[in-house]
Amino acid sequence: MKNGIYTLANDLVYNQLVALLNSIEVNAGAGVPVCVIAYNDQVDKVRREVASRKNVTLLEDPDIFARWEEFSLQVWQSHPTAIQTWQERGIKKFYRVGENRRYCAFDSDSIFEKFIYLDADTLVMQPLDFIFEQLDHHDFVVYDFQYKDPAHIYNLKSPKLLEIFSQQQINSEIFCSGFYASRRGIFPPEQRDWLLTKLNEGESDVLYMAAPNQSVLNYMRMRANISFYNFSLNLPASKATGCCVTSPQFENRNNVLYDQGNRLTYLHYIGLSSKLFNRVCDGENIDFPYRDIFLHYRYLYEPEQRPQFATKARAYNAPPSLRTRVLRKLGLKVEV
């Protein structure tokens, strides 16, 4: 199959997955192939959802998973402190093991020749043909402003960082791993072995442990010198749009978001817990940015299931009540 979209999900993010799939169908095209990569074995609801959609498949290939999990483990075994730090916190193997399965899109046995990867906590706002077309010219394509915040990509205190990459690269080539486009096979086994060699020579010190897969993916692309294109750096300022839920200026026009008159490519609910979305879907009136957009796509084909709120909305980031603070001080469990 030539072009398609990957996402990564399990039953914990089921509500977000449904919203994403509906947004792809409505705004990108009903025939766009989508492959859901199983985050772990907890995918019963995901399987049922995938089975109900003719253009969606589920990737549960243990052989592909094993290849990339072993690679990720070796990456973090090369790090001076990561494995020990995580073990002391009770984390088995390495932090966020399931997230490394997104790398399966690069595998030579994956189903799409060219692909776009989207986190499950995103919504597509328009056709993505222009992203695929850019892959005719570059092997890695993104559309975000993560380059303004390299501290969530690399360990900026590492003396190795500027030995490996220039400041110009750090300022212009990093990206958020919630949305990117690339090709099957651009990280073949021999290149992965070379990357592991460089990491074992001390370069792993530059990796950012709090976002392991995002950091590793940026390192892989930059160190392998894969050709790169970021729409946010190449479009005129009057045409480039944001993508982050923390941006307050987006305008809702018939359940599609616009930024200064330009249609967004995607909206990323970055930083919001999946538990928050589940609680809202269970009927709790908790408000968060662009909540109505999420609810629209989540219940697009099940409007009768959309929660009807009877209480006053409470902000998702509201400070705890006096009662909650007192109970916590007393060491009592509080349901929030």
Task: State yes or no: pLDDT of 14 exceeds 50.
Answer: yes
In this prediction, residues 179-203 reach a mean pLDDT of: 97
User: Hey, is 188 helix, strand or coil?
Assistant: coil
DSSP per-residue string spanning 235-252: S-TTT----BTT-TT-EE
pLDDT in the model for residue 332: 59
CB 10 within 8 A of CB 39: yes
d(CA 268, CA 101): 20
pLDDT of 321 above 60: no
pLDDT band at 319 (very low <50, low <70, confident <90, very high): confident
The per-residue pLDDT for range 141-178, each reduced to its tens digit, is 999 999 999 999 999 999 999 999 999 999 999 999 99
The pLDDT confidence band at residue 336, using thresholds 50, 70 and 90, is very low
Average pLDDT of the segment spanning 237-248 = 96
Q: How confident is the model at residue 291 (pLDDT cuts 50, 70, 90)?
A: very high
Q: What confidence score (pLDDT) does residue 1 get?
A: 67
Token pair of 136, please? Answer: 């005719």
CB 283 within 8 A of CB 309: yes
Tell me how far apart the alpha carbons of residues 187 and 313 are, in angstroms, rounded to a whole number: 47
What are the structure tokens assigned to 333, written together?
């469990």
CA 243 – CA 304 distance, rounded (Å):
29
Judge residue 251's burial from the number of C-beta atoms within 10 Å of its C-beta, 0-12 exposed, 13-18 middle, 19 or more buried. Answer: exposed
- Average pLDDT of 36-46? 97
Q: How far apart are CA 172 and CA 148, in angstroms?
A: 8
CATH of the domain at 97: 3.90.550.10
User: pLDDT grade, residue 130 (50/70/90)?
Assistant: very high
Q: Is the pLDDT of residue 188 over 70?
A: yes
Counting every residue written for the chain, the total comes to 336
CA gap 334, 22 in Å, rounded: 35
pLDDT for 223:
98
At 116-125, the pLDDT tens digits run 999 999 999 9
Domain that includes residue 226, residue range: 1-335
pTM value is 0.93
Q: At what angle do helices 14-23 and 291-298 cross, to 10 degrees?
A: 80
The pLDDT tens digits for 222-236 are 999 999 999 999 999
Determine the pLDDT at residue 93.
87
- Arithmetic mean of pLDDT, 241-247: 97
* pLDDT band at residue 69 using 50, 70 and 90 as cut-offs: very high
Q: What is the pLDDT of residue 92?
A: 85
Q: Please answer whether residues 274 and 253 qualify as being in contact, where contact means their C-beta atoms are separated by less than 8 angstroms.
A: no
Report the alpha-carbon distance of residue 29 to residue 319 in Å, rounded: 41
Q: Are 75 and 187 in contact (CB under 8 A)?
A: no
pLDDT at position 220, please? 98
The H or E element that residue 181 is part of is strand 179-183
Residue 52 pLDDT > 70: yes
Q: pLDDT at residue 333 above 60?
A: no
Beta bridge partners of 180: 117
Percent of the chain past pLDDT 90, that is, above it, reads: 91
When the pLDDT of each residue in the chain is averaged and rounded to a whole number, the result is 94
Q: What number is the average pLDDT over the span 2-22?
A: 98
The domain total for the chain is 1
